[in-house]
């Protein structure tokens, strides 16, 4: 169980939600959607995931870097179309403390591994690129792709559902030294 805090103009109120371990693991630090009240920031980002070689992902890996976490699925055309833009922006900030965390949500690990193998034939792994597969699924009602802008302290600052928003890159540029 986690606590989520929502803010409404000058009045602060608390909303308690009972959520599954997946919801807590994925969106610890993401934003809670309060109906009619906008988005309310939460604590630190965390996700339970593994690399293609089976090694567990550590949320400490991105400490000290501005991070864009992109949750995607190889069956999602919008997701696949966004990946080249994500990689291009990563290359543009290769000398900065920036990480791109690609979090795959395919139901079958083999689908993700086949995609990674195909991409690996034409693109080298860049500094700051982390590609992992999440254990479980996004909570019901969350649209893919999901993009989170995370500051160097690990706090999620913005959440975008659907097409990759240009504001993501403005946010990264504002946060980088």
Q: How far apart are CA 70 and CA 134, in angstroms?
A: 11
**Chain center to CA of 167:** 15
Provide the whole-model pTM. 0.75
Amino acid 79: pLDDT: 93
Amino acid 41: pLDDT: 52
Amino acid 127: pLDDT: 83
Nearest alpha-carbon partner for 71 in 155, 159, 4: 159
> 71-115, pLDDT tens digit by residue?
999 999 999 999 989 989 999 999 999 999 999 999 999 998 888
Does domain 51-175 sit in CATH 3.40.30.10? yes
Amino acid 21: pLDDT: 35
Q: How far apart are CA 160 and CA 34, in angstroms?
A: 15
Which residues of the chain fall below pLDDT 50? 1-40
């Amino acid at each position: 169980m986690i606590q989520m805090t929502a803010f409404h103009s000058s009045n602060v109120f608390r909303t308690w939600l009972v959520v599954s371990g997946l919801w807590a693991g994925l969106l610890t630090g993401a934003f809670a959607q309060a109906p009619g009240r906008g988005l309310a920031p939460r604590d630190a980002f965390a996700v339970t995931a593994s690399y293609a070689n089976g090694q567990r992902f550590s949320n400490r890996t991105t400490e000290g870097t501005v991070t864009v976490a992109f949750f995607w699925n190889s069956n999602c055309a919008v997701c696949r179309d966004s990946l080249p833009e994500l990689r291009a922006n990563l290359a543009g900030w290769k000398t900065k403390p920036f990480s791109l965390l690609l979090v795959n949500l395919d139901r079958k690990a083999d689908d993700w591994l086949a995609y990674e193998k195909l991409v690996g034939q034409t693109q080298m792994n860049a500094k700051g690129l982390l590609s992992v597969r999440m254990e479980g699924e996004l909570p019901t009602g969350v649209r893919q792709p999901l993009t989170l802008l995370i500051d160097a302290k690990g706090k999620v600052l913005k959440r975008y559902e659907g097409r990759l928003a240009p504001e993501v890159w403005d946010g990264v540029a504002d946060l980088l030294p």
